[in-house]
């Protein structure tokens, strides 16, 4: 699954700064729990920070 950043944020785990429109993650593997946290409003910002992107659309 691919993800896109909806709102600028700094990852609390990697300290990487993500900007709106960036791909998430920049590199490496991600924990399922962390993705679920960022997809929901159950995070420090209280709003979804990333969204899932259809892989076919992402490849265009």
Q: Which domain holds residue 41?
A: 2-58
**pLDDT class for 56, splitting at 50, 70, 90?**
low
Distance of CA 9 to the CA centre of its chain: 9
pLDDT of residue 57: 55
Partners of 56 in the beta sheet? none
Contact between 17 and 8 under an 8 Å Cβ cutoff? The reply is: yes
- Please give the Cα distance from 9 to 55 (Å, whole number): 23
pTM of the model: 0.85
Cβ atoms < 10 Å from Cβ of 27: 7
Count up the domains in the chain and report the number.
1
- Please give the Cα distance from 12 to 24 (Å, whole number): 14
The 10s digit of each residue's pLDDT in 21-54 is 999 999 888 899 999 999 999 999 999 999 999 8
Higher pLDDT, 57 or 48: 48
pLDDT of residue 59: 57
């Amino acid at each position: 699954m691919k993800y896109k950043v909806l709102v600028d944020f700094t990852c609390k785990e990697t300290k990487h700064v993500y900007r709106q429109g960036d791909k998430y993650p920049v590199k490496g593997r991600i924990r399922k729990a962390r993705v679920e946290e960022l997809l929901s409003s159950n995070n420090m910002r209280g709003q979804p920070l990333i969204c899932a992107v259809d892989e076919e659309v992402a490849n265009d």
